[in-house]
Chain A
């Protein structure tokens, strides 16, 4: 049982490049989330999806987009990366919009 997988584990990216962070869960959870974790700021929600086919904006959505074509996958795209998007990104999922969330191992992204 893998739970939640994220890829890549880490990435160094030039500013202005497009990047997609991948997230897959095998728990058949309806809801999925993307967070970024920054020192001193804790975890902040970027985007969420309560069910396949729907998405919503979290606290810090600017510069990011998501899609939810199926239950298992929830990719996060940076259309044109900027240095302020250097962070550790965590994907999470929950059975529904009211239950506890389970987190993936994270992707460490550095934008130069």
Chain B
């Protein structure tokens, strides 16, 4: 069975400093992995996706993530945090094994990022 673990429930950084949000996954298949962001009282927005192409994936708003198969990790990073980055971030794996062919997404528990002036 596939699963996702986000290692930190809360991360706090100062504006202008680097962001690291950690995610580990388990998968019996070559996974598709995603990071979504959810701002307060908003829907989920896709930040970036990994689908077995380049291991370093660049997303929107300066975020990127690196797929490391040996470490089963897909950590999200950004060189310099902005106040507008404060939100909840979800690491997600697509479960390709589901019978019936629907795109089951397995969500991590989320990491709440706080950015301080």
Interface residues of A (CB under 8 A from B): 4, 31, 33, 42-43, 45, 48, 50, 56, 58, 90, 92, 94, 97-106
Report chain B residues within 8 Å CB of A58.
102, 104
Q: B46: CB under 8 A from chain A?
A: yes
Interface residue from A4, A33, A42, A98 paired with B110 (Cβ < 8 Å): A42
Chain B residues within 8 Å of A, Cβ to Cβ: 32, 34, 36, 41-46, 49, 90, 94, 96, 100-105, 107-110
Q: Which residues of A contact B107 (CB under 8 A)?
A: 42-43
A97 touches B42 (CB 8 A): no
| Bound Cα distance from A106 to B90, whole angstroms | 16
Q: Which of A42, A48, A99 contacts B102 (CB 8 A)?
A: A48
Of B36, B42, B102, B109, which one neighbours A105 at CB under 8 angstroms?
B42
16 CB < 8 A contacts A-B: A31-B103, A42-B107, A42-B110, A43-B44, A45-B104, A48-B102, A56-B100, A58-B104, A90-B43, A97-B102, A100-B34, A101-B46, A101-B103, A103-B43, A103-B44, A106-B41
Task: Give the residues in chain A near B103, CB-CB below 8 Å.
Answer: 31, 33, 48, 94, 97-99, 101
**A44 (CB) vs chain B CBs: closest residue:** B107
Complex: A48 Cα to B42 Cα, angstroms = 21
- A92–B105 CA distance with the chains assembled, in angstroms: 11
Contacts of B42 in A (CB 8 A): 105-106
Q: 10 closest Cβ contacts across the A-B interface?
A: A103-B44, A103-B43, A105-B43, A42-B107, A97-B103, A48-B102, A43-B107, A97-B101, A106-B43, A100-B49
CB neighbours of A42 from chain B (8 A): 90, 107-110
Distance (Å) between the CB of A2 and the closest chain B CB?
A: 13
Residues of A within 8 A of B44 (CB): 43, 90, 92, 103
Who on chain A is nearest to B36 by CB?
A: A103
Residue from B43, B90, B100, B101 whose CB has the most chain A CB atoms within 10 Å: B43
